[in-house]
Amino acid sequence: MRLSLFAVPLALLALLALSSPLQAAECPALLAGQGELPKLRSKDRIDLCERFAGKPLMVVNTASFCGFTSQFEGLEALNQRYREQGLEMLGVPSDSFKQESDDAEETAKVCYVSYGVTFTMSETQPVTGGDAIPLFKELARQSAAPRWNFFKYVVDRQGQVIARFSSMTKPDDPELIAAIEKAIASTP
């Protein structure tokens, strides 16, 4: 049997078309609704599905000029402690509570220079109310909207919030650590 030159490319296109919905289905609503976020002080973008789907995740809304900003140190310690076990962390600077700089360079300096953050940080985004980005709208739908800066969400591998913690919860809190370990143990 002889195939035409067009039969093979058409068959490949059909397979690709069938596989795309499957790949999209693997990305939970928490991540799929957002798409991409601009990475802090970079031309790169963070594709949330590509980067975080199927992984345990902690999302924190941050601010550079908040009484809780020193939590960056503890968050980075968590990142170092659990990244080899698959934990991903996403920091989302926000001026929703009027404590973030309008200057991305200043925000980056606080994160990267002052606190040595190595986990993923986005550019400043709104995290509350009608202006909240889709990621935070879904976090609020699943649990609650952040009430202040450094509100922490622990998400399992299926994209479900399994715990949320207030700004008062320090990164070394045993309940937060237990939630992180539960997210790491979850199955995709």
DSSP string, 105-157: HHHHIIIIIIS---SEEBPP---SGGGS-HHHHHHHHHT---SSTT-EEEE-T
Q: How confident is the model over 41-90, as pLDDT tens digits? A: 999 999 999 999 999 999 999 999 999 999 999 999 999 999 999 999 99
Q: Are 64 and 114 in contact (CB under 8 A)?
A: no
User: One of 27, 49, 66, 111 is an active-site residue; which one?
Assistant: 66
What is the value of pTM for the model shown? Answer: 0.86
28-185 is a CATH 3.40.50.720 domain: no
- Tell me the domain boundaries of the chain: 28-185
Active site residue 66: yes
pLDDT in tens, the chain (188 residues): 555 554 444 443 343 344 433 344 489 999 998 899 999 999 999 999 999 999 999 999 999 999 999 999 999 999 999 999 999 999 999 999 999 999 999 999 999 999 999 999 999 999 999 999 999 999 999 999 999 999 999 999 999 999 999 999 999 999 999 999 999 999 98
